[in-house]
Amino acid sequence: MSSLTQQRDLTDAWNETAARIDAHDADGVAEFVRGLDDDERREVARRLPELLRSAAPRGPRPFMGDDAAFRAAGAGTLGGAAAVAAWLNRREFTSRWAGEHDDTGRLLDLWDDRDDAWRTDLARRLVLRLRSPRHIGLDLALALLAETGAEPPEHDPLVVGWVSTAPPRAKDPMLPVLLPRIFEAEGVGRALRGNTSWLRTLATLADRGAVDRRALLDGCVRRFLRGGTATDLRFFVSLHRLLEPADLDARRRHVRRHARDYVRLLPSAPGPVAELAAGLLRELPDLKPEYVVEALDGLLFRGEVGLVRGGLAWLESTVRRSPELADGCAAALARAFGHTSPGVRRRAVRLALKLPDTTAPDALRDAVPLLPDDLAAQLTARYAPPGPPAA
């Protein structure tokens, strides 16, 4: 073939592609570029950016061209996975005016002659291009991951985007990979707040054995320990409560495995998390004494009246059952003397006055200045240090 003929063929390939783009014929573009040879594809890929620039307006106005036709042309002619990922994520196709692209099937068909390594590389690159909160390109990235069986890279927007779609099916190929990541990725809790469909689905999958109930519960605990606001964690609190074993012995076995973790949550976790942890710990009749004292110390340090009252009730029953823990409990009880609620302070003093006579009084004495005069006088009458011996 002469160079002139070859050049004519390249020009014809470009002109036909451009004409189909101009006609907004995305399917026609895809069909045509599939039949091009390597040289023709390179020529079309070389000239595409210039045509796209000519179709794009200046300034902040939205792109008015046919993005589906442009995307098909680039996806079918660019050679490297990096170049294709970059083309599909150009600002003209991902601006704030752009919606989700309805071209996943078309693009997958364009790539069915590419080798597995190339498509796996592209899948990973498309994942890493995802951005919250819009997740443009999510459908394509998930479809290509499922088709290739590629392990998705660690990328929070992928997980947030996945949970923002419909709840997973048992046969969802992404379920085994992405479900464990919902406890690690930032933004998942906010995306799922108030989403009862996900809660019901995960509970059903756990009941059927399609997902591991224990792994989900362990994941909730890990998520609590990572911290966050009540909004971040509310979904996981609801999920934990829903998945807790109904059988008391089974539930206690779970709490024993995580007793140290639940104790650590009590001083500073958001209220719903602390309430959950405290309730579970109180169910353990054999909770280690040092954990009991530390848990009470954490609860009585908090500002929420309901949690502190619960802590005071737990302290009272603990001392009644195990008087030998009175010294440690007294130190925790002293924290409640400085609470802003008068009712909490009064109850704390009443409990202090009921402690065994052998209780070490130092922590209680040191906290007396936190009390109003009337309560301080009651406590001082009981725990005043002995006076000097009579002469």
Supply the pLDDT for residue 389: 54
pLDDT for 101: 85
C-alpha span between 247 and 292 (Å, rounded): 23
> Could you tell me if 216 and 176 are in contact, meaning their C-beta atoms sit under 8 angstroms apart?
no
Q: Could you write out the DSSP letters of every residue in 108-148?
A: HHHTTTS-HHHHHHHHHHHHHT--TTT-TTHHHHHHHHHHH
Q: Could you tell me which of 109, 140, 106 has the C-alpha nearest to residue 126?
A: 140
**Alpha-carbon span 186 to 302, nearest angstrom:** 26
pTM of the model: 0.89
Residue 346 phi/psi, 5° resolution?
A: -65, -45
Q: Which amino acid is at 21?
A: I
Along the 391 residues of the chain, how does pLDDT read in single tens digits? 555 565 667 889 999 999 999 999 999 999 999 999 999 999 999 999 999 998 876 544 445 557 999 999 999 999 999 999 999 999 888 876 666 789 999 999 999 999 999 999 999 999 999 998 888 999 999 999 999 999 999 999 999 999 999 999 999 999 999 999 999 999 999 999 999 999 999 999 999 999 999 999 999 999 999 999 999 999 999 999 999 999 999 999 999 999 999 999 999 999 999 999 999 999 999 999 999 999 999 999 999 999 999 999 999 999 999 999 999 999 999 999 999 999 999 999 999 999 999 999 999 999 999 999 999 999 999 987 765 554 4
The answer to whether residues 109 and 30 touch, using CB atoms and an 8 Å cutoff, is yes
DSSP state letters, 76-115: HH--SHHHHHHHHT-HHHHSTT----S-HHHHHHHTTTS-
| CA 77 – CA 87 distance, rounded (Å) | 11
The reported pLDDT for the residue numbered 385 is 73
Question: Are 304 and 273 spatial neighbours (Cβ–Cβ below 8 Å)?
Answer: no
User: Cis omega before residue 133 (within 30°)?
Assistant: yes
- Burial string for 102-111 (b: 16+ CB within 10 Å, else e) reads ebbebbebbb
**Cα Rg of the chain, angstroms:** 32
Task: Please give the pLDDT value at position 96.
Answer: 64
pLDDT (0 to 100) of residue 327? 95
